[in-house]
Amino acid sequence: MRIERRVFEAVKAHCEDEYPREGCGVLGGDPETGVVTSSSPVENAARHEGFDVYYMDPVEQLETFEALERAGLSREGFYHSHPDHGAYFSRMDRESALVEGEPLHPGETYLVLSVVDGKCRGASAFGWGGNGFVEEGFEVL
């Protein structure tokens, strides 16, 4: 994943603002280069279930997908934070990203941010590797 610095900073700010709950959203980009050029925060519909869970509001998520399409952008992936935990792809992350063992959004990347005491302390990107999700490199441009 390659992501513009201003977009990465916006994602970090959103996740820090949501602390101690998980922040989440959709990443859009240039359909030719795949560079992430936009981020769209999505309401965490699981806000009241605990601090370590997220579930994107499905209506808002669909509206976000449609807005990207209208803007001529491609869906490049998703982001969410792990409050007071590392930037890893958890069991719950894997389960919510799969349907009957197959990726729900093949070819898209999941950016996970570690937010500790309200500050982003790290980030990692994960994608489908054929047999499971694997960490991918990401570059801030």
* Chain segment 13-46, per-residue pLDDT in tens: 999 999 999 999 999 999 999 999 999 999 887 7
Instruction: Spot the catalytic one: 4, 18, 22, 95.
Output: 22
Task: Read off the pTM.
Answer: 0.93
List domains and CATH numbers for the chain: 2-140 (3.40.140.10)
Percent of the chain with pLDDT strictly greater than 70: 95
Taken in order 73, 138, 54, 82, the sign of the CA dihedral is negative
Is the distance from CB of 82 to CB of 19 less than 8 angstroms? Answer: no
pLDDT at residue 51 is higher than 80: no
User: Is position 22 annotated as part of the catalytic site?
Assistant: yes
Q: Which residues contact 116 (CB under 8 A, 6 or more apart)?
A: 83, 84
